[in-house]
Amino acid sequence: MGRSALASWILLPVTPLAIACSYVPAPIRPSLPGLPEHVARAERFLGGGAPLGRVTEAIVVVVLDGARWQDVLVGTDASFGSWRGPSDLVSGAVLMPNLHAMIMRGAVVGSPGGGAPMRASGPDFISLPGYTEIFSGRTPVRCADNDCPATEDATLVDEVRAHGGLAAVFASWAPIARAASRSPEGMVVSTGEPETARFRADRQTATEALDYLTRRRPQFLFLGLGEPDELAHQGDYAGYLDTLRQADVVLGELEVTLAAMGERGRRTSVFVTCDHGRGTDFRHHGRGWPESSRVWLVAAGGAIPARGVVQSRAPQRLRDIAPTIRVLLGLPADGAAEAGAPIAELIAPP
């Protein structure tokens, strides 16, 4: 991913056929002050927040691109001190206090001491296959690299919209739009600039996402923060840690935003994960670094039980996140052979 300050709102064309097949009709609503008109215009064809048959009111998914489980869950690594000068080694709880507060009131999957690890399905442990797996809940058999075409599988975005809900995707890396939906007509998505470096600052992405959450209260919101992977590829361990600290600030802002929503916020479940891990050399990931398959998941809020570290007997996968969310939102299960399964510990009482 390249770095750029440019950004754009992407609104793909709305066709009458797509509206007839994909959306539940909803009354046209006036746009709220401060939102781009083309965003409000697209929402007139979306569900507009109609209730689903859910046990959780809404879902927010936050993905920290390429964030290592070691740094996030355990703490900073002394072996990379030569890249950053004098090292101020800290625990994961000090590095990302808001994330660890989520673990205390919710659950973490893939943590050390939690039994079997959590992994991306691969075999290429890179970004777009990982995002495809998260959105679809299936092994990304038709996406092997970051240049793969738009997904052919129904995603959480498609399913929420088809059942009358409002879904939105915000990401710093533009190709995520290709993983988000197989029927993107009329979809509101804010990403980095696709025609240039295809990347924008995470701070801008997060600000837009939280503003949208406050104003529109979607049933499904995706927030993709890409700077951890950008700095890691540059070998800048200190800068990478700073992006994790900044991401943790965003998680704190998300908590404040949900708290201000009252009961709606209390009935919202938040999932935080990554699209892939990192190799032992820190800079790289992919097929040549099988250890980069290891990922992690933190979930809290709504119907998520307070379990702390989940003890997994068998490895969980990124493809298991979407089936878990489907249960929480009351969406139909996916019966495909390559589909994942709900993570029972995140939907059953402790």
pLDDT score for 81: 60
Share of the chain above pLDDT 70, in %: 80
Q: Which of 3-12, 103-112, 128-137, 248-257 has the lowest mean pLDDT?
A: 3-12
* Residue of 205, 242, 208 lying closest to 226 (CA atoms): 205
Section 9-31 average pLDDT: 29
Average pLDDT over residues 160-167: 92
The closest alpha carbon to 190, from 66, 2, 12, belongs to 12
Name the residue among 311, 308, 314 with its Cα closest to residue 341: 314
pTM for the whole thing? Answer: 0.84
Q: First and final CA of the chain: distance in angstroms? A: 40
Question: 9 pLDDT exceeds 70?
Answer: no
Distance CA 276, CA 328 (A): 24
Q: Each residue of 187-232: pLDDT tens digit?
A: 788 888 755 556 899 999 999 999 999 999 999 999 999 999 999 9
More confident residue, 276 or 54: 276
**pLDDT value at position 73?**
97
How many H helices and E strands in the chain?
14, 12
Question: Where are the domains positioned within the chain?
Answer: 7-21+39-79+97-346
| pLDDT surpassing 70 at residue 186 | no
pLDDT of residue 194: 59
Instruction: Name the 3-class secondary structure at 319.
Output: helix
The pLDDT of residue 2 is 39
pLDDT of residue 348: 81
Taking only Cα atoms into account, the Rg of the chain, rounded to an integer number of angstroms, comes to 19
> What is the spatial distance between Cα 179 and Cα 329, in angstroms, rounded to a whole number?
20
Instruction: For residues 151 and 130, give the distance between their C-alpha atoms in angstroms, rounded to a whole number.
Output: 12
Nearest to 131 by CA among 231, 228, 233, 273: 273
In sequence order, which residues have a C-beta less than 8 Å from that of residue 79 and are 6 or more positions away?
none
**Sequence-distant (≥ 6) Cβ neighbours of residue 138 within 8 angstroms:** 153, 319, 322, 334, 336, 338, 339, 340
pLDDT tens profile 61-118: 999 999 999 999 999 988 876 545 445 689 999 999 999 999 999 999 999 999 999 9
How many whole angstroms separate alpha carbon 99 and alpha carbon 93? 8
SS3 content of the chain, % helix, strand, coil (to 5): 35, 15, 45
Q: At residue 35, does pLDDT exceed 50?
A: no
What per-residue confidence (pLDDT) applies to 44? 39
The reported pLDDT for the residue numbered 300 is: 97
- Phi, psi (5° rounding) for residue 142? -105, 10
40 compared with 274, residue with greater pLDDT = 274
Residue 187: what residue type?
Answer: M
CA distance 302 to 304: 6
pLDDT bucket at 21, cuts 50 / 70 / 90: very low
The pLDDT of 263-279, averaged and rounded, is 97
Q: Which two tokens stand for residue 145?
A: 């690299």
Name the most confidently modeled range: 87-91, 237-241, 293-297.
293-297
For the chain, give the mean pLDDT. 84
Query: Which homologous superfamily does the CATH classification assign to the domain defined by 7-21+39-79+97-346?
Result: Alkaline Phosphatase, subunit A (3.40.720.10)
Sheet with 167-171: strands ordered across: 7-11, 188-192, 167-171, 220-225, 58-64, 268-273, 297-300, 107-109, 308-309
Mean pLDDT of 278-300: 97
pLDDT in the model for residue 213: 97
pLDDT of residue 141: 93
What pLDDT does residue 69 have? Answer: 97
